[in-house]
């Protein structure tokens, strides 16, 4: 579905504002924007760099393709590193709507390079939600 209802849009307003925190590659570092602190963060590039999206521990996204984070479009199928600085495990999915291949990223766990140890996962993630898979 391409269009959310008005009620749904209102319900996710705060989450959308948090998720749309985008910084240029030159500004990406361990010290990201305040809204990314204690967050779950997807990065376009390895080593926690490039365009990134931040989610609070209670947030999920069934379709990363609808969040226009990159100049070229969405961050869907672009994640190359990820930080989970929340107290909650997250499940990362290869397909939209929490489907397809998946893996659990434990609380307070980072992956600097999604190509290691298995290059399969690089540039594949399309949906995420809190909780173990
Ligand atoms: Ca990438």
CA of 70 relative to ligand 1 center, distance in Å: 11
CA of 45 relative to ligand 1 center, distance in Å: 5
What pLDDT score does 104 carry?
Answer: 98
CA of 80 relative to ligand 1 center, distance in Å: 4
HSE value, Cβ hemisphere, 13 Å, CA-based, for 19 = 24
Q: How far is CA 108 from the centre of its chain?
A: 15
Domain count, the chain: 2
Asked whether residue 22 falls in the same domain as residue 79, the answer is: no
Asked whether residue 21 falls in the same domain as residue 52, the answer is: no
CA of 6 relative to ligand 1 center, distance in Å: 32
CA of 114 relative to ligand 1 center, distance in Å: 9
pTM above 0.75, yes or no: no
Asked whether residue 26 falls in the same domain as residue 56, the answer is: no
21-58 pLDDT per residue, tens: 443 333 333 333 446 899 999 999 999 999 899 999 99
Residue-range definition of the domain harbouring residue 10 = 1-35
Asked whether residue 4 falls in the same domain as residue 23, the answer is: yes
Asked whether residue 13 falls in the same domain as residue 52, the answer is: no
What pLDDT score does 35 carry?
Answer: 66
DSSP state of 4: -
Asked whether residue 23 falls in the same domain as residue 76, the answer is: no
What pLDDT score does 22 carry?
Answer: 41
- pLDDT of 20 > 90? The answer is no
**3-class state of residue 62 by DSSP:** coil
53-107 pLDDT per residue, tens: 999 999 999 999 988 766 667 889 999 999 999 999 999 999 999 999 999 999 9
Asked whether residue 74 falls in the same domain as residue 124, the answer is: yes
């Amino acid at each position: 579905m391409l269009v959310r209802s008005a009620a749904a849009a209102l319900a996710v307003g705060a989450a959308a504002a948090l998720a749309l925190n985008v910084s240029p590659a030159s500004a990406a570092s361990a010290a990201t924007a305040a809204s990314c602190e204690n967050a779950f963060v997807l990065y376009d590039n390895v080593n926690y760099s490039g365009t990134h999206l931040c989610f609070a521990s209670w947030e999920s996204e069934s379709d990363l393709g609808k969040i226009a984070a990159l100049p070229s479009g969405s961050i869907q199928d672009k994640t190359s590193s990820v930080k989970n600085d929340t107290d909650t495990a997250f499940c990362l999915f290869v397909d939209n709507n929490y489907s397809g291949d998946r893996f659990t990223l434990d609380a307070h766990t980072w992956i600097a390079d999604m190509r290691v140890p298995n290059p399969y996962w690089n540039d594949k993630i399309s949906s995420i939600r809190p909780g173990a898979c």
